[in-house]
Amino acid sequence: MSVWYRAGMLWALKQVQPDLLAQWTHNGELGDVVFQVAATFPMKKIQVGVVYDGPPFEVQEFVKQVAART
């Protein structure tokens, strides 16, 4: 379930802000480094009935960590 959730968060991020992960996207697919960071990056579980202002994780820190691994 965790893998599905994290993959879903990456998919949503790619849909909402496609340029954010563009340099790690090849032929429409995210690079391995994105998934490697996502596997351990802190993400909160979204609660049903709660309205959120953004994704349940720090997007800029996520991108920073992906960039640091490349």
Taking Cα atoms as reference points, which of 32, 27, 20, 29 lies closest to residue 64? 20
The model's pTM = 0.88
How many CB atoms neighbour CB 10 within 10 A?
A: 17
What span, in angstroms and rounded, lies between the C-alpha atoms of 21 and 29? 10
Residues 6+ away with beta carbon under 8 Å from 51: none
Taking Cα atoms as reference points, which of 20, 33, 31 lies closest to residue 60? 20
Which residue range forms the structural domain that includes residue 32?
2-68
pLDDT means per 10 residues, the chain with 70 residues, are 94 93 95 97 93 91 97
Place of tokens 């990056």: 41
Number of domains forming the structure of the chain: 1
Tokens of residue 31, six digits: 């690079």
pLDDT at 52: 87
